[in-house]
């Protein structure tokens, strides 16, 4: 599917809303698309590169690769907390995005060079640049809307499509180069850098036309005033409490979801039939199911949330997130079925992975774009970027837990921790339980959250 067709889907999603979306939204869509092209494209092949012993990878164990991925993910999603603070107080979201995009591109080009020194330097630069970039792009979307604008949820769903268009293209391109013997891993990393440069160039060229005045640096006098004379109001404190509770429930969701890059990625590489005629499907390509399903279903949800909101029947944020957790648990039930079919070294149908990724993606649509909108609505204006960074900090905690748990995949599969179903099915069962239990608890505390939101 060409880029123009994917962007057309986004335009149709906007027109489905009752009111026309701001034009600046589609510029932010494009910028985020290319940044996520680089991020998800590189991440799709990174664990496979770490574990590869045949085609120029580092030859690490699955456990070591999973642990590095956990610390990489934790850092990439934690530093936006600091980046959001700097944007709120000093730089503004515009400058932060430009600085972050340049650093990210430099990091990917370091990864494209062979050797351990450029490898670790590249990872550090990508993490640092993501800290400046990530939270501020999402915050700028919120700055396009007035406080009570009903287009906000639909706008964030469209913006979230940009993330997934980029993820789809990045996994396709970087996976093709990285797992192709003719090119190799470092070409995949270099392709990610090219994507980031394209996104940065798009933003710098079109920002004066479509985002003029959005994301400017705060005035020193205004910053001083908020420090000294503008403490949080009682409503703002209640809203922050609601935000923190909601953020806590995102941790079990993303902890399970981020098995995509490690345990599920290795399952795709080693236990799934990947021959398609004379072509060997790259393992990284299975991760494309997630953005593809999201792109094709997001327009319908964008219109649904908008129309339900107009009629006063839009489900609450806790209700949507509970649905997301249930879908996550069901996805791992499917994965357990795939594992049980792969005993004795048999390769299983790719439909097991496709089914699990589809359920996980539907859950993601009920949680992530809605959560971004939730933060932009409830966070005090002077803390907007900081709280968006806190949202991603919760994701960083999830990344850390996801990778550390994935490091025990083989041990659990051997029955060294516990034995219920046998093999890796026991490992995936952990996420069935954590997701379902979290969904139940969230529904029980949702009345308290709604009271804090009022």
- More confident: 194 or 224: 194
Q: Is the CA virtual torsion 267, 269, 274, 275 positive or negative?
A: negative
List phi, psi (to 5°) of 280.
Answer: -100, 110
Mean pLDDT of 342-371: 88
Q: Looking at the predicted structure, is the pLDDT value of residue 112 above 90?
A: yes
- More confident: 314 or 197: 197
Tell me the pLDDT tens digit for each residue of 385-432: 778 778 888 889 999 999 999 998 888 877 777 778 878 889 999 999
pLDDT value of position 258: 92
Q: Looking at the predicted structure, is the pLDDT value of residue 13 above 50?
A: no
Paired with 276 in beta bridges are 279
- With beta carbons less than 8 A apart as the criterion, state whether 322 and 439 touch: yes
> What are the DSSP calls for 180-209, one per residue?
-TTT-HHHHHHHHHHHHHHHHHHHHHHHHH
Dig out the tokens for 82 from the structure: 């600091």
- More confident: 344 or 405: 405
Percent of all residues in the chain with a pLDDT value above 70, rounded to a whole number: 92
- More confident: 265 or 83: 265
User: pLDDT band at 451, cuts 50/70/90?
Assistant: confident
Tell me the pLDDT tens digit for each residue of 228-261: 456 778 888 888 888 889 899 999 999 999 999 8
291: exposed, middle or buried (C-beta count within 10 Å: 0-12, 13-18, 19+)? buried
User: Mean pLDDT score of the chain, rounded to an integer?
Assistant: 85
Decide: helix, strand or coil at residue 22: coil
Q: Looking at the predicted structure, is the pLDDT value of residue 16 above 50?
A: no
The lowest-confidence range among 51-65, 126-140, 379-393 is 379-393
CA distance 312 to 194: 45
Mean pLDDT of 151-156: 76
The lowest-confidence range among 75-79, 422-426, 440-444 is 422-426
Mean pLDDT of 334-341: 91
pLDDT value of position 230: 64
Q: Which residues contact 206 (CB under 8 A, 6 or more apart)?
A: 27
DSSP code, position 344: G
CA distance 64 to 67: 5
């Amino acid at each position: 599917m060409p880029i123009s067709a994917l962007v057309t889907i986004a335009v149709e999603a906007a027109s489905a809303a009752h009111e026309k979306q701001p034009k600046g939204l589609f510029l932010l869509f494009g910028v985020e698309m290319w940044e996520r092209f680089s991020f998800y494209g590189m991440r799709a092949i990174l664990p496979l590169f770490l574990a590869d012993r045949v085609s120029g990878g580092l030859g690490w164990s699955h456990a070591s690769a999973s642990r590095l991925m956990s610390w990489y993910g934790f850092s990439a999603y934690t530093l936006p907390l600091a980046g959001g603070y700097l944007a709120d107080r000093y730089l503004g979201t515009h400058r932060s995005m430009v600085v972050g995009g340049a650093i990210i591109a430099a990091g990917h080009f370091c990864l494209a060079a062979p050797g351990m020194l450029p490898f670790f330097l590249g990872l550090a630069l990508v993490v640092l640049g993501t800290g400046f970039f990530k939270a501020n792009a999402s915050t700028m979307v919120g700055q396009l809307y007035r406080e009570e604008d009903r287009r906000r949820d639909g706008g964030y769903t469209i913006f979230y499509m940009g993330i997934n268009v980029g993820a789809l293209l990045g996994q396709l391109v970087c996976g093709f180069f990285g797992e192709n013997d003719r090119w190799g891993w470092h070409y995949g990393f270099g392709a990610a850098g090219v994507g980031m440069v394209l996104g940065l160039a798009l933003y710098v060229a079109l920002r004066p036309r479509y985002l003029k005045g959005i994301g400017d640096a705060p005035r020193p006098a205004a910053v001083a005033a908020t420090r000294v004379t503008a403490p949080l109001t009682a409503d703002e404190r209640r809203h922050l409490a609601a935000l923190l509770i909601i953020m806590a429930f995102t941790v079990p969701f993303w902890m399970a979801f981020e098995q995509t890059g490690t345990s599920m990625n290795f399952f795709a590489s080693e236990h799934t039939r990947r021959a398609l005629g004379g072509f060997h499907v790259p393992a990284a390509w299975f991760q494309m199911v997630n953005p593809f399903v999201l792109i094709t279903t997001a327009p319908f949800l964008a219109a649904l949330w908008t129309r339900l909101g107009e009629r006063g029947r839009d489900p609450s944020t806790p209700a949507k997130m509970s649905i997301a957790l249930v879908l996550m648990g069901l996805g791992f039930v499917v994965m357990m079925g795939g594992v049980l079919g792969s005993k004795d070294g048999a390769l299983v149908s790719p439909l097991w992975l496709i089914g699990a990724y589809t359920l996980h993606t539907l859950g993601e649509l009920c949680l992530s774009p809605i959560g971004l909108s939730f933060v932009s609505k409830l966070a005090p204006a002077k803390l907007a970027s900081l709280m968006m960074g806190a949202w991603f900090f919760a994701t960083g905690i999830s990344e850390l837990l996801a990778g550390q748990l994935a490091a025990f995949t083989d041990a659990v599969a051997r029955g060294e921790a516990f034995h219920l179903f046998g093999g890796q099915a026991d490992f995936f069962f952990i996420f069935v339980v954590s997701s379902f239990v979290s969904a139940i608890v969230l529904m029980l505390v949702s009345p308290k959250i709604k009271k804090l939101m009022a």
